[in-house]
A = this chain, B = another copy of it.
């Protein structure tokens, strides 16, 4: 029931994923059974590949996460994650209320041993093409050094196992490149990262994200959230600016029209969330969160991404790596 176009886009995406899967997995749809079955009616998929788990309640996008989880014990988010914990499904995917999915994933699946704070990142586009994983993207504010360090560990394992980057370059977001920069927490994190066997490339600055200076950019969730939302606002800002530009003259108007269309295309390429959502890292299981506006294709990609995380056993890899660093 998550996302702006549920259950339509969710179901269409699940069907597409099953078609692409070659029978490797099945999908369980979680939601009010009648609603889901009605929407499902249009698709003809064998029942053993596409089942329905009844969840009568729905957490809305604008609900306060903790309050909603408490009030709606039978929401599709809680029911789905409980099914995962109990082993009837091996992964959970949702485009619902981000805060609720994050909190429920932590509460229901539990944290990995040694992980203080599970995190969600955001994949930002870069000039070169391969995205930069910004961690934490808003789940945790006022982080301590060990939390920031955990983000670096979890982000590195994720990029290695799922995105195929062998030695992800970890950068610590700071206000300058010099080792002496930043406040206490950042300085302490620098020390932890340098001692580790991660591929730590030192401090990076705000400009190094889009330029592709690091594969993982580590920061407090306050900073990450501000950057992510700032970045998300760039396309509409540019659109407005191009419109202003186009009003200067007829020539400018024509140029502006042409430019805006290419801009739209360029922006579409950049939306990595669209390419498979972002995982909750640090929990005992696979939980992937998608954009509210997820298309059927996005749901399909999230499901395939989830399968990959299960196959690669990403949370066990994270568990091993965290243990090694603290062991």
Q: Spell out A's residues near B (CB within 8 Å).
A: 125-129, 138, 141-142, 173, 175, 182-184, 186, 205-211, 219, 221-223, 225-234, 236-238, 240-242, 244-245, 252, 255-256, 258-259, 261-263, 265-266, 269-270
Contacts and interface: CB of A to CB of B under 8 A. Distances in A.
Contacts of A125: 237, 241
Copies of this protein chain in the complex: 2
Contact of A242 (B219, B244, B266): B266
Given A175-B225, A262-B255, A266-B238, A230 B210 contact: yes
Given A127-B237, A173-B226, A206-B229, 9 more contacts: A142-B184, A205-B226, A206-B227, A206-B231, A206-B232, A208-B233, A210-B234, A211-B236, A230-B230
15 contacts: A125-B237, A127-B241, A141-B183, A142-B183, A142-B184, A182-B222, A206-B228, A208-B233, A209-B233, A211-B233, A227-B227, A245-B265, A255-B259, A258-B258, A259-B259
Interface of A is mostly: helix
Contacts of A175: 138, 141, 221-222, 225-226
A250 to B, nearest CB: 14
A270 B242 CA distance: 12
Nearest to A184: B142
Given A175-B138, A255-B258, A266-B241, A225 B211 contact: no
